[in-house]
């Protein structure tokens, strides 16, 4: 557990340095808060799953707490088995860097920072979004099963439900 926390801390420090060096990108990074409760995790997941069904997708939704522990996971019947690990990886990466995974993707694609591919725990695919309540990161949501933009849209819908 200590190794994972250290890896995510190193990733966060690296990303913060890389993000602050990115022209036109300014962001305040919120502190971690108390872990998301199962009730709030279900609230976030319910909003994401409702949007998923509305759009006719088959996906997996994973919610981790601020300590990167899985709190809730739901896979629709026809979502691929591989979407489980992908959704969880996106949630953990978004929580670990306190930033959407789309940021990692954009830094690789648009800022020529392919070195981020070598960072353990980095998940450079859209679909992971931190969950922020009262100005603190209380966890993250990860969604997998569609195209990256669709995964991101569903994750953002869930995150907005807090």
For the chain, helix (H) and strand (E) counts, in that order, are: 5, 4
For 53-66, what is the mean pLDDT? 98
Range of the domain at 115: 2-159
CB atoms within 10 A of CB 109: 11
Number of domains in the chain: 1
Helix, strand, coil in percent for the chain, rounding step 5? 50, 15, 35
For 19-47, what is the mean pLDDT? 80
Q: How confident is the model at residue 31 (pLDDT cuts 50, 70, 90)?
A: very high
Q: What is the pLDDT of residue 24?
A: 39
Question: What CA dihedral angle connects 26, 32, 33 and 35, to 10 degrees?
Answer: 120
Give the N- to C-terminal CA distance of the chain in Å, as an integer: 28
For 82-100, what is the mean pLDDT? 97
Q: Kindly report, residue by residue over 104-155, the tens digit of the pLDDT.
A: 999 999 999 999 889 888 999 999 999 999 999 999 999 999 999 999 999 9
Rounded mean pLDDT of the chain?
Answer: 88
Q: What is the pLDDT of residue 20?
A: 46
Question: How far is residue 42's CA from residue 40's CA, in Å, rounded to a whole number?
Answer: 5
**Could you give the C-alpha distances from 46 to 53, 55, 87, 145, in angstroms and in order?**
10, 14, 15, 16
Q: Is the pLDDT of residue 25 over 90?
A: no
For 29-58, what is the mean pLDDT? 97
Q: What is the pTM of this model?
A: 0.84
Q: What is the pLDDT of residue 28?
A: 78
For 80-87, what is the mean pLDDT? 98
Question: How far is residue 41's CA from residue 139's CA, in Å, rounded to a whole number?
Answer: 9
Q: How confident is the model at residue 46 (pLDDT cuts 50, 70, 90)?
A: very high
User: Residue 46 is part of a domain; what is its CATH number?
Assistant: 3.30.450.150
Question: How far is residue 143's CA from residue 128's CA, in Å, rounded to a whole number?
Answer: 6
């Amino acid at each position: 557990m200590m190794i994972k926390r250290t890896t995510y801390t190193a990733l966060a420090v690296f990303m913060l340095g890389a993000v602050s060096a990115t022209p036109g990108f300014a962001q305040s990074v919120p502190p971690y808060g108390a872990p998301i409760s199962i009730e709030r995790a279900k609230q976030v997941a319910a909003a994401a799953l409702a949007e998923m069904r509305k759009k006719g997708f088959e996906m997996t939704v994973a919610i981790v707490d601020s300590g990167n522990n899985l709190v809730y996971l739901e896979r629709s019947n026809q979502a691929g088995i591989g979407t489980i690990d992908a959704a969880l990886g996106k949630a953990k990466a978004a929580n670990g860097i306190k930033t959407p995974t789309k940021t990692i993707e954009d830094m690789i694609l648009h800022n020529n920072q392919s070195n981020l591919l070598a960072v353990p725990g980095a998940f450079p695919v859209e679909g992971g979004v931190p969950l922020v309540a009262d100005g603190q990161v209380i966890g993250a949501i990860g969604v997998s099963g569609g195209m990256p933009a669709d995964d991101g849209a569903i994750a953002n819908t869930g995150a907005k439900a807090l």
